[in-house]
Amino acid sequence: MDKERKTALIVDDDEDYLFQMEANLQRLDYEVTTASSVQEATAIMEENRDVDLVLVDLMMDNMDDGFVLAHKIRRINENIPIIMTTSVAKDTGYEFDSVKGENREWLKIDKILNKPVRFEQLKTVLATLK
């Protein structure tokens, strides 16, 4: 990957969502790699430990895949910003709040965004992570 540009890894089992988020991050001048599973994302991270950002879906093959992957990524690179995306709010009506305090320590993520994630919302969140 060209380190002149920021790099991002997007992990989601929904191909349409991957395409949308890849386009959004490319608009923000990121070089993007995508993965559709925890195993694929872990292999990418082990090969390229200095990714600048990870966006990971909460629920993929298993309900907690996003949490599992976030823990694996933190073991590989503890400083990488991780944004978790989820459609739980749409499906259940329950919305995650911000990730603070002991929840941040346990969850191993920096931010949770409810799907669908809008371009302006993503841009604003990325500005706060710098």
- Consecutive 10-residue averages of pLDDT for the chain (130 residues): 80 95 96 96 91 94 89 91 82 52 60 91 91
CATH architecture group of domain 6-129: 3-Layer(aba) Sandwich (3.40)
pLDDT of residue 87: 85
pLDDT of residue 33: 97
pLDDT of residue 93: 53
pLDDT of residue 42: 95
User: Where do the structural domains in the chain lie, given as residue ranges?
Assistant: 6-129
What one-character-per-residue DSSP string does the chain give? Answer: --TTSEEEEEE-S-HHHHHHHHHHHHHTTEEEEEESSHHHHHHHHHH-TT-SEEEEES-SSSTTHHHHHHHHHHHH-TTS-EEEEE-HHHHHS-------HHHHHHH--SEEEESSPPHHHHHHHHHHH-
What's the predicted TM-score (pTM) here?
A: 0.85
pLDDT of residue 1: 46
